[in-house]
Amino acid sequence: MIDATAEPLTVESEYRVAPWVEVTTLLLSLLGLGLSIYLTITHFQPHALVCSTSGLIDCQKVTTSAQSEILGIPVAIFGLANYVVMTALNTPWAWRARARWIHVARFGLAIISMGFVLWLIFAEVIIIGAICEYCTAVHLVTFALLIVLTRVSPAQLGWGRSRAS
Amino acid sequence: MAKTSAQKKRPNTPRPPVKARGGRPAGLFTWVAVGLVVIVVAALVIIKVASGGTAKSGSSSFTPISAANLTALTTVPASVFNTVGVTSPIAQVSSPQPVAGQPELTATNAAGVKVPEVVYIGAEYCPYCAAQRWATIVALSRFGTFTGLGNMSSYSGDVYPNTPTFTFVKATYKSKYLVFKTDEEYTNYLDAAGTYYASLQKPTAQESALITKYDTPKYIKGLTSSDAGSIPFIDFANKFLVAGASYSPTTLAGSTRNNIAAALSNAASPVTEAIIASANYQTASICSLTKNMPASVCTSSGVEVAAKAMGLK
């Protein structure tokens, strides 16, 4: 017997967001994924890098610097892994998922990514003394994703509501 | 039962998208995040500007090689190569050391052809690398074309200070006979802490493996265990090795970059003799890798003299 007073079983996720959020985050993730793939290729094939190599903008100086690896793992690999996961988390299916952890993971990954981006900006500006334009493009995409997700994720997860409401 | 079936149906009116309701406005998190990011980035820029643009003790600016010097380096007259041979009365010049029984190091060139690979590992501060680059550029220019070479001088506070040279840091080399890979590990200035030279290019796993295996007393005669890993290190397809300068940097002391380059067309110049003798040795080594191609280079008298001196002919 089914309890008639139980909460109705619905297919719609309680975490659903506006369509523009799904579209925007997916497009940004795909853009970040493309840039990350390019930067990963050029880490291993530096001569494939098409970029200014003089003055402040110097991709090769950045992508071949000592800071381009952490514990022997290329930073580009971290970026690629981040955007593979981020793209998966920003598909319409993931956005409509009913599992809360998916939405928490998406927001958490965006925050962690932005923190990592700030470290990379520190490395470029202070340590290396050069900026990579493709890296900067990835940083801007990450920042844009953070802006969109901070706009919707706290409310989606119920963090933007007061206990009284 | 009717209730049960109704419960499994998708509602006709979907739930509205999530919006912040009550409590903190939804935009608050965004403003906090944007504010934090902007503050951090602004702080980094201010620190950079306040420190005078660089905290390093030297200059990091890249200056391309002049057209005149590039021409002088890459179009040394055949008569100079042949006149000098391996004769260098002023400076002692050593040849690359042959290595036996090692697998040939190869790579695929731009045309997709598997060719011998030459690997250079050095640093911009290093005066021995400074001397070596002159001869290596001259030798390799007989098999292909360099672009992206830059002017460089060894560290002012080291032995043989400010030895004029070039840097491979942005150089590319194209040849149908071989692939040339380079790694300039450090700049010619100290890092912010002033404890060592600022890092420049990290060796690849392959480069690290080569220097660990071959830049040792086992493969380099005269190298002590404490000198293992010394630079410049050049691996000619695992068949010939160079560890350390082929001639002393003191040979270049007192000369400017332009003067050295200009003198490369003068076979009587002692500096030219040292550079060209080393270049002929390196050319002979490469010729043994390329099966004596191109013939115009590999059968020239200067190269044949070098090959004979190395026991290759």
* Residue A4, in any domain of the structure: no
ipTM associated with this complex:
0.79
CA distance B305 to B293: 16
What does pLDDT average to over chain B? 88
Closest residue in A to B39 (Cα–Cα): A118
* Residue A10, in any domain of the structure: no
First to last CA, chain A: 34
Q: Where are the domains of chain B?
A: 31-73+88-258
CA distance B56 to B188: 10
Residue B4 has pLDDT above 60, yes or no: no
Residue B57 has pLDDT above 50, yes or no: no
The residues of chain A scoring below 70 in pLDDT are 1-13, 45-49, 51-55, 60-61, 66, 160-165
- Partners of residue B54 in chain A, C-beta under 8 Å: 129
Q: Is B69 exposed, middle or buried (0-12, 13-18, 19+ CB in 10 A)?
A: buried
- The C-alpha R_g of chain B, in whole angstroms, comes to 28
* Residue A9, in any domain of the structure: no
What are the tens digits of pLDDT across the range B62-83?
Answer: 889 999 999 999 999 999 999 9
Short-list B89, B141, B41, CA closest to A119 = B41
Distances (CA, A) of B144 to A83, B39, B262, B308: 40, 50, 21, 24
Residue with tokens 């200035």: B189
CATH number at residue A126: 1.20.1440.130
Per-residue pLDDT, A14 = 73
Overall average pLDDT of the B196-200 stretch: 88
In B228-257, the residues whose Cβ lies within 8 Å of chain A are none
What are the tens digits of pLDDT across the range B75-133?
Answer: 999 999 999 999 999 899 999 999 999 999 999 888 888 999 999 999 999 999 999 99
* Residue A43, in any domain of the structure: yes
* Residue A128, in any domain of the structure: yes
* Residue A90, in any domain of the structure: yes
- Comparing A72-76, B20-24, B238-242, B305-309, which segment has the lowest mean pLDDT? B20-24
Task: Copy the structure tokens of residue B120.
Answer: 């250079």
* Residue A96, in any domain of the structure: yes
Q: Are B34 and A147 in contact (CB under 8 A)?
A: yes
**Minimum-distance CB partner of A161 among B21, B32, B47:** B21
Per-residue pLDDT, A165 = 36
* Residue A8, in any domain of the structure: no
pTM here is 0.59
- The C-alpha R_g of chain A, in whole angstroms, comes to 20
Beta strand spans in chain B (E): 97-98, 106-108, 114-122, 145-147, 150-153, 164-167, 172-174, 179-184, 186-190, 197-199, 233-236, 240-243
Residue B172 has pLDDT above 60, yes or no: yes
With an 8 Å Cβ cutoff, is B37 touching chain A?
Answer: yes
Overall average pLDDT of the B241-269 stretch: 94
In A111-140, the residues whose Cβ lies within 8 Å of chain B are 111, 114, 118, 121-122, 125-127, 129-130
Residues 6 or more apart in contact with residue B138 via CB below 8 angstroms: B73, B74, B76, B264, B275, B276, B279
Structurally, chain A folds into a number of domains equal to: 1
Q: Show the domain range for A129.
A: 19-157
